[in-house]
Amino acid sequence: MYMDHQTEINYIKKILDGDTNLFSYFLNSYSHSVFTLIVRVVQSKEDAEELTQDTFLKAFRKLDTYRGDCSFSTWLFRIGYNTAISAVRKKKIVFPAIDEYVIDTVADEDVDRLLAGNDSEELLIHMEKAIEKLNPDEKALITLYYLENNPVQELAQVFGITPDNVKVKLHRTRKKLYVMIRELTKADA
Amino acid sequence: MSSDKIIGDALKQQWPDELPAGFNSRLMEQINKDVAVRKRRQTVLSYLLVGGVSLLLVGLAGFLLKDGILLTFLKSVKSMFAVQVSSSALGFSIYIAVIVLFLLFMDGYFRSLREKRLKQDAE
């Protein structure tokens, strides 16, 4: 499906030498994944389409700054993530905060039990609602990890943090989702 | 952690992943337009640069002629070589020579810039 890293670098060189049409390869390969990330961060299909377009235009204009030290998709996701986060910040949306103490008191076993064993329709609906309430950083993180199956190492490059920090953030996000689902279940009862 | 299937399922259901038909081709068109605009801008800028420098040289020549500096210079050149040359013809020749030298210098400068860029790209 995707070309190897060296072939992509060769493509980029050719594009920089003037063979602009080769950029369509990157569009066809990654536009879907970039849109998947952005739509979940900004929570609007129309905005996401526009921001996906902005992401690729930015990538094209800054193609000469791509140094090849990470995969092209990682570089593209970083641009897409920054573009989406800037758009969300401009809207000044306030996301519900959960007391850190509450998150800290949640046992890992409880979270594992809820997420691993249960795939009821009710839980799925609650999970969707809980994900909506996450802040944009957390949405981006779980989208790239659970939906795009990106390894922790690549996520660290996208978000500009260490792999250990990525693991910590994923761990806390799971707990946060658990707390929110617990509250939603209580409210239903 | 990666086996949290329910999170992946919920994310999948939340939003459609499909981009509108023709999205990629429209974007490619826009990128091609962007390239064309950039090329045009570069051409206009280089014309403006050459035009500006030419105007500057004409202005400088006018200034020198107006204050008689050029004429004094030409007279001294004439006396140095003791050759009977029409001062206007000599002035014109020097003026042309200066422009030619300047344009040759600019040409060399832009060529070396281009070569450097090509080398960087190749690396």
A165 and A105 housed in the same domain: yes
pLDDT at A69: 84
Whether pLDDT at B77 is above 80: no
Q: Is the CB of A27 less than 8 angstroms away from the CB of B14? A: no
Whether pLDDT at A1 is above 60: no
Burial group, residue A41, by CB count within 10 angstroms (0-12, 13-18, 19+): buried
Q: Which amino acid is at A83?
A: T
d(CA B58, CA B61): 5
pLDDT at B122: 66
Q: Is the CB of B23 less than 8 angstroms away from the CB of A49? A: yes
A76 and A134 housed in the same domain: no
Q: Which tens digit of pLDDT belongs to each residue from A109-156?
A: 888 888 876 668 888 899 999 999 999 999 999 999 998 889 999 999
A43 and A114 housed in the same domain: no
Of A49, A71, A91, the domain-final residue: A91
Residues A46-54: what's their mean pLDDT? Answer: 94
Of A91, A126, A147, the domain-final residue: A91
Whether pLDDT at B1 is above 60: no
Residues on chain A touching B14 (C-beta within 8 angstroms): 40, 128, 131-132
A76 and A111 housed in the same domain: no
Whether pLDDT at B78 is above 90: no
d(CA A128, CA A110): 19
pLDDT at B85: 57
Best probe of the A interface among B25, B27, B33, by most A CBs < 10 A, is B27
A69 and A140 housed in the same domain: no
Residues B56-75: what's their mean pLDDT? Answer: 77
CATH of the domain at A144: 1.10.10.10
pLDDT at A188: 75
- The reply to whether B84 touches chain A by the CB within 8 Å rule is no
d(CA A154, nearest CA chain B) in Å: 15
Whether pLDDT at B23 is above 60: yes
CATH of the domain at A37: 1.10.1740.10
DSSP A9-32: HHHHHHHHTT-GGGHHHHHHHHHH
pLDDT at B120: 75
pLDDT at B60: 82
pLDDT at B84: 60
pLDDT at B82: 63
A127 and A183 housed in the same domain: yes
- The reply to whether B11 touches chain A by the CB within 8 Å rule is yes
d(CA A42, CA A128): 15
Query: What's the structural domain count of chain B?
Result: 1
A109 and A154 housed in the same domain: yes
pLDDT at A105: 84
pLDDT at B66: 72
User: What percent of chain A has pLDDT above 70?
Assistant: 96
Residue A107 binned pLDDT confidence (cut-offs 50, 70, 90): confident
Structural domain range at position A60: 5-91
Q: Is the CB of B7 less than 8 angstroms away from the CB of A177? A: yes
For the whole prediction, is pTM greater than 0.90?
A: no
3-state secondary structure of B86: coil
Structural domain range at position B92: 24-122
CB atoms within 10 A of CB A111: 20
Of A91, A117, A150, the domain-final residue: A91
Select the residue of A16, A49, A174 nearest B121 (Cβ to Cβ). A16
Whether pLDDT at B86 is above 80: no
Query: What's the structural domain count of chain A?
Result: 2
Residues on chain A touching B8 (C-beta within 8 angstroms): 146-147
The CA–CA distances, whole Å, from A67 to A14, A58, A181, B27 equal 15, 15, 43, 24
Residue B18 lies in a domain: no
Quote the ipTM score.
0.82
By residue count, chain A amounts to: 189
A47 and A116 housed in the same domain: no
A86 and A152 housed in the same domain: no
